[in-house]
Chain A
Amino acid sequence: MSSPTTILDASALKRALVRIAHEIAERNELSTEVVLVGVQRGGVNLAERLAGFLSGIWGHAVPVGSVDVGMHRDDLGRKVAPRIHPTVIPFDITGRTVVLVDDVLFSGRTTRAALDALNDLGRPKRIQLAVLIDRGHRELPIKADFVGKNVPTSLSERISVHWQETDGKDVVYLEKK
Chain B
Amino acid sequence: MTWNRKHLLDIESLTAEEITTVLDTAKVFKAVGERAIKKVPALRGKTVVNLFIEPSTRTRISFELAALRLTADVINFTAEASSLKKGETLKDTARTLEALNVDIIIMRHSATGAPHFLSRFLNASVINAGDGAHEHPTQALLDTFTIRERKGRIEGLNVTILGDILYSRVARSNIQALTKLGARVTLCGPSTLVPRVFEQMGCRVSYEVDEAIADADIINLLRIQHERQRKTMFPSINEYTSLFGLNKERLARTKPDAIIMHPGPINRGVEIDSEIADCGRSVILEQVTNGLAVRMAVLFLVNGGKGPQEIAA
Q: Which of chain B's residues have a CB closer than 8 A to the CB of A80?
A: 1, 3-4, 304-307
Q: Chain A residue with minimal CB distance to B301?
A: A81
Cβ contact within 8 Å between A71 and B41: yes
Residue interface bits B260-280, CB-to-A below 8 A is 1, else 0: 000000000000000000000
Q: CA separation between A84 and B39, bound complex, in Å?
A: 15
Q: Pick the residue among A71, A86, A87 that contacts B42 (CB under 8 A).
A: A71
Q: A71-B32, A87-B31 are in contact. Are A81 and B304 (CB under 8 A)?
A: yes
Residue interface bits A44-76, CB-to-B below 8 A is 1, else 0: 000000000000000000000000101110001
Cβ contact within 8 Å between B32 and A81: no
The bracket for how many chain A residues form the interface is 10 to 19
Q: Pick the residue among B28, B35, B41, B307 that contacts A68 (CB under 8 A).
A: B28
Q: Which of B172-227 contact A (CB under 8 A)?
A: none
Q: Chain A residue with minimal CB distance to B25?
A: A84
Cβ contact within 8 Å between A87 and B28: yes
Q: A68-B28, A71-B300, A86-B27 are in contact. Are A76 and B42 (CB under 8 A)?
A: yes
Closest CB of chain A to B84's CB: distance in Å?
29
Cβ contact within 8 Å between B305 and A81: yes
Cβ contact within 8 Å between B35 and A81: no
Q: CA separation between A121 and B31, bound complex, in Å?
A: 12
Q: Which of chain B's residues have a CB closer than 8 A to the CB of A121?
A: 35, 37
Closest CB of chain A to B295's CB: distance in Å?
14
Is B144 an interface residue, CB under 8 A from the partner? no
Is A157 an interface residue, CB under 8 A from the partner? no
Q: How many A-B residue pairs have CB under 8 A?
A: 62
Q: Chain A residue with minimal CB distance to B304?
A: A81
Q: CA separation between A76 and B303, bound complex, in Å?
A: 7
Is B233 an interface residue, CB under 8 A from the partner? no
Q: CA separation between A81 and B43, bound complex, in Å?
A: 11
Is A177 an interface residue, CB under 8 A from the partner? no
Closest CB of chain B to A40's CB: distance in Å?
10
Residue interface bits B299-313, CB-to-A below 8 A is 1, else 0: 011011111000000
Q: Which of chain B's residues have a CB closer than 8 A to the CB of A72?
A: 40-42
Cβ contact within 8 Å between B305 and A120: no
Q: CA separation between A71 and B3, bound complex, in Å?
A: 16
Is B60 an interface residue, CB under 8 A from the partner? no
Is A85 an interface residue, CB under 8 A from the partner? yes
Is B46 an interface residue, CB under 8 A from the partner? yes
Q: CA separation between A121 and B25, bound complex, in Å?
A: 19
Q: Which of chain B's residues have a CB closer than 8 A to the CB of A68?
A: 28
Cβ contact within 8 Å between B41 and A116: yes
Q: CA separation between A15 and B291, bound complex, in Å?
A: 48
Q: Chain A residue with minimal CB distance to B28?
A: A84
Cβ contact within 8 Å between A82 and B28: no
Q: CA separation between A84 and B3, bound complex, in Å?
A: 12
Residue of A68, A76, A81, A116 with most partner-chain B CB within 10 A: A81
Q: Which of chain A's residues have a CB closer than 8 A to the CB of B307?
A: 80
Q: Which of chain B's residues have a CB closer than 8 A to the CB of A77?
A: 43, 46, 103, 303-304
Cβ contact within 8 Å between B3 and A81: yes
Q: Chain B residue with minimal CB distance to A121?
A: B35
Q: Which of A123-176 contact B (CB under 8 A)?
A: none
Q: CA separation between A96 and B32, bound complex, in Å?
A: 21
Cβ contact within 8 Å between A79 and B304: yes
Closest CB of chain A to B44's CB: distance in Å?
8
Q: CA separation between A83 and B17, bound complex, in Å?
A: 13
Cβ contact within 8 Å between A86 and B3: no
Q: Chain A residue with minimal CB distance to B307?
A: A80
Q: CA separation between A137 and B1, bound complex, in Å?
A: 27
Q: Chain B residue with minimal CB distance to A87?
A: B31
Measured CB to CB, the residues of A under 8 A from B are 68, 70-72, 76-77, 79-87, 116-117, 120-121
List 24 contacting pairs A-B, 8 Å CB cutoff, sorted by A.
Answer: A68-B28, A71-B32, A71-B70, A72-B40, A76-B43, A76-B300, A76-B303, A77-B103, A77-B303, A77-B304, A79-B306, A80-B3, A80-B305, A80-B307, A81-B300, A81-B301, A81-B303, A81-B304, A81-B305, A83-B1, A83-B25, A85-B28, A87-B32, A121-B37
